[in-house]
């Protein structure tokens, strides 16, 4: 038997509204990034060139990709600009990647920067940046901005799973998976 729809349960869908406030969404992504950075700290610089198989990204490339995907989509959605301007990180992806993927410190800075840029751009974005249908994006015609932001968010979780596997294959001890399992993240949020 099929589950009743939201409308059948008396809960109308509002497709133009996200399910969480901007701050709730950002706070949750902060928790995801918190664990991603803890996971990065479990690797040593010499681990960053490791590949689980010959056709997968190296550890360092995977962490770089997480930040790059977030940066590209957040700028496109929130600033409504998909092409880089001179001086922006993706104006020279190969150069930035080469300078970043071999150092856990550089990757930490990159991932912290992209999270800070997301927060800064979100604070200045107009409501339409999230609610409007966005035919200008490179992937999906007719998708709203807030749903586009879910793409790099979910991609981070996907790649983090790969990185947990690689950490274990390298004999590293990765952190607990959920931010709520870390008192330094969870205690200030209890009951909120």
Task: Note the pLDDT tens digit of each residue in 22-55.
Answer: 888 899 899 999 999 999 999 999 999 999 999 9
- For the beta carbon of residue 185, count every other beta carbon within 10 angstroms: 16
SS3 state of residue 144:
strand
d(CA 160, CA 165): 9
Task: Note the pLDDT tens digit of each residue in 96-116.
Answer: 999 999 999 999 999 999 999
* Residues present in the chain in total: 192
Does residue 5 surpass a pLDDT of 80?
no
Buried/exposed code over 19-57 (b: 16+ C-beta within 10 A; e: otherwise)? eeeeeebbeebebbbbbbbbbbebbeeebbeeebeeeeb
The CATH number for 22-186, chosen from 1.20.200.10, 3.40.50.1980, 1.20.120.450, 3.90.380.10, is 1.20.120.450
Question: Residue ranges of the domains in the chain?
Answer: 22-186
Q: Measuring CA to CA, how many Å separate 22 from each of 18, 61, 186?
A: 9, 29, 19
More confident position, 16 or 67: 67
Record the pTM: 0.87
């Amino acid at each position: 038997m099929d589950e009743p729809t939201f409308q059948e349960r008396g809960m109308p869908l509002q497709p133009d509204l996200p399910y969480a406030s901007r701050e709730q969404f950002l706070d949750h992504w902060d928790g995801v990034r918190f664990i991603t950075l803890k996971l990065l700290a479990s690797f040593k610089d010499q681990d960053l060139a490791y590949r689980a198989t010959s056709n997968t990204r190296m550890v360092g490339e995977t962490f770089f990709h997480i930040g790059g995907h977030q940066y590209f989509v957040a700028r496109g959605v929130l600033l409504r600009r998909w092409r880089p301007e001179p001086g922006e990180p993706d104006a020279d992806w190969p150069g930035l990647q080469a300078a970043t993927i071999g150092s856990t410190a550089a990757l930490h800075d990159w991932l912290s920067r992209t999270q800070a840029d997301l927060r800064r751009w979100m604070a200045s974005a107009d409501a339409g940046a999230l609610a409007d249908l966005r035919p200008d994006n490179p992937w999906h015609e007719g998708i709203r901005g807030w749903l586009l932001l879910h793409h790099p968010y979910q991609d981070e979780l996907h790649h983090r799973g790969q990185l947990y596997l690689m950490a274990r294959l390298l004999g590293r001890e990765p952190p607990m998976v959920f931010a709520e399992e870390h008192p330094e993240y969870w205690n200030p949020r209890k009951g909120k």
